Structure 1
């Protein structure tokens, strides 16, 4: 029933040279894919530069302010070596660099620093699309009472009316209420309203949650000043986050403090005050020991002074009344022995009182207020070492808690060490108290024995010895405490911070931000990347066939021809526009058929596609036209019985055609219609039948085709899409050569598998691919839509009409 046709054997092997050449062309394809969008890419690159320029213009310059501090190992202060035995030297050990960095970056230090500065009111001047903060030389000065509730965060505007009055308005109504009784938690304020808008300079400006005074400095009529109020905790948190502290190198103890700010002088003032506050805090820690010692001695002196005065008065009175001034030789000997024991007893009683006070401190958790044991004459080395170690641990804990919470490992470790040291010290103190009491008991026994010898003296001398004894005891204790107080005061006066300011705050001349050149480069790069990325993503997500090279790789048959876009409304450019590039595409395809048909005089061609709209009817019509122009007797048969198009394109009436012949006794010759062009006849599809598939499968169709082939040189089938209907697969057997039409930018990439299945499973041979409507240039050799796809270019010597190429294509073509 169906004529046989032998398949064409093809050798698909390629030489290494061909593969390398193909890889090189792929790179050019990628390049051309982006170059076709060059106006868009250049536009975005220019837009990126413009955006970067305005970003640089609108961004406030930021300057880097730096200062340096030397962190030293603590040395004894001047004169402290004189009183080392008294325990009055500083108790801090070697400074830890990391801890010092923590202290410098602590919130508490920042808050203490800002309390000494007047940064709570920020002043601004209006600039192009922004507000620039100013520092110093303010036109007006705002006095704020921070002991009362104040609104913070929002932006006020002052407009000077005259020498006495100004107008106040709100620019940014984003206020919070600061309560000094709860300074770390602010409440939001939905909207702030002013009861009036005109105020006098020097008069309080009051509202529901604010009160401040505006003082005129140098403002003139019409001048505008913007300001906002910020509470100290918020400022401290801001400065704390902005401050950077780092060692100059790993081995150095020099710390570099850095602050980035738009106001260089304000940054310098803050760093200088921060370093001063830091050193003062260190000095205060050192002086705390001496202050505690002086306080303890003053408490003891307040009691002993009264006793000394009373005993002195009694001694003088007794001497005057009894006219006795000196003791006898025997009494003097007894007094000297008694005086020695009484002095030793007094020292031990002072020591016992200190130990009891120390025990009370330890029990109440007030170990941070300890006085060194050496100040009261305690020479126990273990007790002295424990007290000194506990004081150092307490000072270390104060430093750590300034920057870390109680749950951090460092604080938890120091707390454990403090607890362990306190326990050991408490045990040692209890033992020392017991020993001191034993010593006092022994001294009391010795004193009682001497008192027996005193009883043997005359009554007058015995009473004088008692008064003299009491006075001497009080005098010795009083002199001892005065000496220790003088030592503590000298130590306090000689204390100096172990750390030192090396360089005060100094700002760089050039801003560190914005980086103008870098921003311009980033803008340019982003301007290129955004469109290129969009094009890449678009191509990646694109499911239609765009690149002829990609199509060649996907199909398992040769891509024999490529038809350029028909830029006119004429469906038959071969007849009506013979010098167009589209016509040349069909001529080239016709020439290739010479090698595929083995010089056969008669030829039957079949055109199909995957879906409707891919241009198979357009290709089949114009291929028939090309052969007709050669003088070949050609007939075009419309076999798409479901959706006919040929009649409309030729200006014919589809009243009869192939469906008429197959469904009646009408001869095929009766339905042949002249196309209006020489050597070209047309058999239309005819009226749409209810059973198109069954009609084409009749044996009558086979006889009709055989008769048509006998009467014509070239027979062209315009078949229905093989991806949509089934009868197209049966029509391949009637064709000598079949063509599968794809359309650039329209055909789905997955439809190539339909063609591959026809070859692999359907046994279809002599089928080739054709790419229609080629208009997107993907690289060298495929620019048919621009009129140089076959190498004719601008110097085409009259072969066909030219479309002027873009300048970059002409330049690249010259390089090729």
Structure 2
């Protein structure tokens, strides 16, 4: 065993491996984990096997993708005039389109033509698999009636006409069509568990449905789940992901996950169609309002036209007059031209009055296209168009956002600004048209004076014919506008378009097989790693000699192995064992610790009972006796003596007897039956052991013992439990504090440090007793001559043959 210099204040030598200054010992940490390699191997195999089975039997999930391209409408030539004032239509907001596509109402619209409300399943190996299309049974639900939803039903086919129904999974609730967004929990499901006939109506307070046989065979078991549209739409909307393909583009990529490819493709295609249909419906709203206005005007004109046409024919027949005179024709044509202008002006006035009414009550959804009034005012035309477009944009936004959303607040502000400007222009247009009508009326009245000069028959014919042709002109005019409005509606199309229809990924995105196997590997490594780390963190026992080296400021001599005998006389009974060799090592150390003394007193103590101080004292005394030294082993643990039992003696006479009865200590000394080793037992347990040690007679006895024996080994009580041990330190030359492997608590090092500091002990050392040799620790030749190194080669008598020995056929 090598010697290394010490930097402690007492300047005494340190033996074995000196205390390391490094707080982080990577090799020790690695060794601490690798000794559990079997745990790691088992955990990795188990977790990777679980991951493999999960990959094999988990229901695959595919990614369904489609793309929509967003196109900005080309602005009118006057749009730039109002953009600076905040009156123009809002530019395309990509984020708004994203939220519209993810809205609940659009998802609900997309589900209308898809029969997703009933999901069908079959039993699988580990879980049920969903069936889509060509299902063996077909369930028809009347959603106008309260309907049970959620949970899972099991249908067992009895024959072609009958089936048995039962509840497979609970968690059902009742959907109420009058309150579709709040379902009521239902607990009693026994009403459904009975036999039914195919194609017959199943009706009760919570259900109204029909189940049809679509090819199910007798004995076949089918599971189904009913989901209401609001819940289904909410789930589909949450699952949908919408993102820009590129920041520089205006292409939106839509994606969702589905366990059945065709089902996911059908939904995503329907969703994109519903998005475009919604946009087109918003565009057609103004055209529909325009067509309705014209049709209302035509209905009144048609009746007037028919009435005056019949009256004109009747008058001509009755009065035998068919044509006007030259003067009458001239006057009539001038009057007819003015009447037509006034009629069109009155139609425009009715349009503006209705437009003003809509603006005053903010009924922007009913606005008509401005072309009906034959307006030449580009500003007014642009304002009406912008207001219609802004209202359409707001309607789309309200499907996804609340009224407090900044986008809707901004839209409301633009609508209000446009409404104010448009109202001012409408009021101005109404004033202008009224002035124009008044002027035309004045001119018409002047011509009427000329008509009055015509003969009565011709004058009356002019009046009837004028009414007929005015109504005919208005009728033709309105018909033209109706055709124009219908053509405008027919030519409307969404500004956005589908770039790619929904397509499923070829490979499933779940489970990710390679990633799952890697996760299984790391989890397999992590579970034992975490367990060992927690175990080590909460372990308060001394299980590593390096802990004593790092945390003790006093020298650590080394380790003493675990004996194989059922008593403490290992050195005497097994002189060739590894334990005996470790005590020989300690004996050699003594010549370095106290090189100038021929007579030595060695004291053994510990923190608590059971750490092996008596074992160490007996064997330390024995190893000196084997070397020819005259040795006395003193049992100074007067409270809990053990030496007598190890040597088969009676503990009636000993130190307590000598001190209490004033007898000669020599009379109490007993022979151990081993050469050079005498024993002075503790004697009967006294009531006052501490006071006996303090007597002068004990000090005198110790002087005499030192003169008589070469080596005195004192087996003292645990210093952490009793006080008399501190009184014995003054008689010893070397004090050895014993820790026991996997038994002593780490906090016991404070007891040793306290002895050094408070008792000012200079000659105190520590050993680790009962060390269980394990190659996984990696401790070699440095500790106790051979634990780890010699073990592999059967170096000691009590060693089992190592790996090499077994290969060579060595026996114990």
TM-score by length of 1: 0.91
**Residue 185 of structure 1 is aligned with which of 169, 182, 186?**
182
The residue that corresponds to 2:436 in the other structure is 439
Offset of residue 567 of structure 1: 3.8
Worse-matched range after superposition: 271-280 or 148-157? 271-280
Question: Structure 2: which 5+ residue stretches go unaligned?
Answer: 1-7, 78-87, 808-812
The residue that corresponds to 2:113 in the other structure is 116
The residue that corresponds to 1:40 in the other structure is 39
**Residue 151 of structure 1 is aligned with which of 148, 151, 176?**
148
SS of the residue 1:404 aligns to: coil
Offset of residue 753 of structure 1: 2.1
**Residue 767 of structure 2 is aligned with which of 765, 770, 776?**
770
The residue that corresponds to 1:756 in the other structure is 753
Q: 1:699 to 1:282 in 2, by over 3 A?
A: same
**Residue 400 of structure 1 is aligned with which of 378, 397, 401?**
397
- Give a deviation string over 1:657-687, Cα, whole Å, max 9, x none: 1111112211111111122322111111112
**Residue 244 of structure 2 is aligned with which of 247, 251, 258?**
247
- Contact 2:21–2:550 (CA under 8 A) maintained in structure 1: no
2:7 corresponds to 1:9:
no
The residue that corresponds to 1:298 in the other structure is 295
- Contact 2:671–2:679 (CA under 8 A) maintained in structure 1: yes
Q: 1:252 to 1:543 in 2, by over 3 A?
A: same
**CA distance in structure 1 between the partners assigned to 2:424 and 2:27 by the alignment:** 89
Offset of residue 485 of structure 1: 0.6
- Give a deviation string over 1:601-638, Cα, whole Å, max 9, x none: 21110111122222111111110111111121111111
The residue that corresponds to 2:651 in the other structure is 654
Q: How does 1:606-645 map to 2 (within 5 A)?
A: 606-645=603-642
CA RMSD of aligned residues (A): 2.8
The residue that corresponds to 2:495 in the other structure is 498
Q: 1:786 to 1:318 in 2, by over 3 A?
A: farther
Q: 1:490 to 1:783 in 2, by over 3 A?
A: farther
Question: Structure 1: which 5+ residue stretches go unaligned?
Answer: 1-5, 82-90, 811-816
Q: 1:776 to 1:461 in 2, by over 3 A?
A: farther
Q: 1:195 to 1:602 in 2, by over 3 A?
A: closer
**CA distance in structure 2 between the partners assigned to 1:55 and 1:470 by the alignment:** 87
Q: How does 1:773-812 map to 2 (within 5 A)?
A: 773-775=770-772, 779-781=777-779, 788-789=786-787, 791-795=789-793, 798-803=795-800
Offset of residue 22 of structure 1: 7.7
**CA distance in structure 2 between the partners assigned to 1:443 and 1:375 by the alignment:** 21
Worse-matched range after superposition: 54-63 or 396-405? 54-63
2:333 corresponds to 1:340:
no
The residue that corresponds to 1:31 in the other structure is 30
Q: 1:416 to 1:751 in 2, by over 3 A?
A: same
Count residues in correspondence. Answer: 787
SS of the residue 2:790 aligns to: coil
- Contact 1:161–1:221 (CA under 8 A) maintained in structure 2: yes
- Contact 2:107–2:271 (CA under 8 A) maintained in structure 1: yes
Offset of residue 460 of structure 1: 2.9
Worse-matched range after superposition: 601-610 or 326-335? 326-335
- Give a deviation string over 1:464-494, Cα, whole Å, max 9, x none: 3222322232222111111111111112222
**CA distance in structure 1 between the partners assigned to 2:782 and 2:482 by the alignment:** 106
Q: How does 1:593-612 map to 2 (within 5 A)?
A: 593-598=590-595, 600-612=597-609
2:224 corresponds to 1:224:
no
**CA distance in structure 2 between the partners assigned to 1:155 and 1:407 by the alignment:** 40
**CA distance in structure 2 between the partners assigned to 1:616 and 1:731 by the alignment:** 15
- Contact 2:587–2:623 (CA under 8 A) maintained in structure 1: yes
2:744 corresponds to 1:747:
yes
**CA distance in structure 1 between the partners assigned to 2:265 and 2:13 by the alignment:** 81
Offset of residue 282 of structure 1: 2.2
2:680 corresponds to 1:678:
no
**CA distance in structure 2 between the partners assigned to 1:192 and 1:806 by the alignment:** 69
Q: 1:147 to 1:790 in 2, by over 3 A?
A: closer
SS of the residue 1:623 aligns to: helix
**CA distance in structure 2 between the partners assigned to 1:647 and 1:571 by the alignment:** 11
- Contact 1:202–1:214 (CA under 8 A) maintained in structure 2: yes
**Residue 729 of structure 2 is aligned with which of 714, 729, 732?**
732
**Residue 355 of structure 1 is aligned with which of 346, 352, 355?**
352
Q: How does 1:250-649 map to 2 (within 5 A)?
A: 250-598=247-595, 600-649=597-646
- Give a deviation string over 1:561-583, Cα, whole Å, max 9, x none: 21112243221111122222222
- Contact 1:64–1:260 (CA under 8 A) maintained in structure 2: yes
Q: 1:63 to 1:661 in 2, by over 3 A?
A: same
Worse-matched range after superposition: 262-271 or 244-253? 244-253
